Amino acid sequence: MGKKQVVEALVSGGAATAGPPLGPALGPLGVNVKQIVDKINELTADFRGMRVPVKIIVDVDTKEFEIEVGIPTTSALIAKEAGIEKGSSNPGKEFVGNLSMEQVVNIAKIVNRKINLSDLKKVVLQVIGTCVSMGVKVENMDPKEVTRLVKEGKYDDVIYGGS
């Protein structure tokens, strides 16, 4: 394997283009930029509408490449799942969205790909903590109340059960 060049960028999930930041960074390496952009869009399609970190590793001699896709921020995942643009400007007093516990667990599973904790409940609590700061309810309740219920084990069946 020859000399490797790494290009890191933040792209719009499923909608990367050959324009900046990718084109100018990849062009000088002599690779097929369109092929790389198409692959990035395929790999980031699930994160459509979110900013996604990607790392492109190019073998400068063979022009072969591999792509590593990062995970969007927890707040971006919550906003997408809740169908909101952004969090509340007055969290705790003003709520802008609501998530089911199943949605929280799904977000926790995605986030856990990055942080890799052995106990999913801890990740669920982190996601709910982000809901607190964003003004997003969980199960139509204040997320602080849901945090207490999760710690008491009320949602263990949802967290550890299905899927």
Chain center to CA of 152: 28
Place of tokens 């995605």: 110
Q: Where in the chain is the domain with CATH 3.30.1550.10?
A: 4-69
**Per DSSP, which regions of the chain are E strands?**
4-12, 51-59, 65-69, 97-99, 136-138
Q: Where in the chain is the domain with CATH 1.10.10.250?
A: 74-160
Q: What fold, for 4-69?
A: Ribosomal protein L11, N-terminal domain (3.30.1550)
Q: What fold, for 74-160?
A: Arc Repressor Mutant, subunit A (1.10.10)
pTM of the model: 0.80
- The answer to whether 124 and 151 have CB atoms below 8 angstroms apart is no
Whole-number Å distance between alpha carbons of 90 and 96: 10
pLDDT in tens, 88-100: 999 989 999 999 9
Q: What single DSSP character describes residue 141?
A: B
Bridging pattern class, strands 136-138 and 97-99: parallel
pLDDT in tens, 118-155: 999 999 999 999 999 999 999 999 999 999 999 999 99
Q: For residue 22, give the nearest of 44, 2, 1, 3 by alpha carbon.
A: 44
